[in-house]
Amino acid sequence: MTDTQHSVSLLYQIEHLGEGNWIPWKTKVLAILGDEGYKGHVDSTNLKLEKGPDPKARTIIVLLVSDAQMVHLTRANTAKEM
C-alpha cells in the first residue's frame, strides 16, 4: 500500500460512492483532494495540474468508490474524467 492509499484510508472515513450518495460523496472527495493538494486535477482551478499526471488524485478517487460503481471508471483516463 502506498503512502497516499494508506493516509487516505486512515485519515478520512467516508462512505464509498454508491447509488444514492453522489452529492455528499462528491463534496467530501473534493475536500479530501483539496486537503491532499490534488483538487486542481479535477475542478479546473489549476489548469497546469489538470493537464499533468494525476495518479495520486486517481488513486484517492478509486479508493472511495464502491465495487458496484467501479464500472463507471473503466474508461476514465484522468481524475477529472472520473
Could you give the C-alpha distances from 63 to 20, 29, 42, 45, 73, in angstroms and in order? 18, 10, 16, 23, 12
User: Which pTM was predicted?
Assistant: 0.67
Query: Which residues have CB under 8 Å from 80's CB, separation 6+?
Result: 41, 42, 43, 44, 50, 54
User: Residue 66 CA to chain centroid, in angstroms?
Assistant: 12
Residue 35 scores a pLDDT above 90: no
For residue 17 the three cell numbers come to 460512492
- pLDDT given at position 59: 85
Matching residue, cell 479530501: 32
Residue 49 scores a pLDDT above 70: no
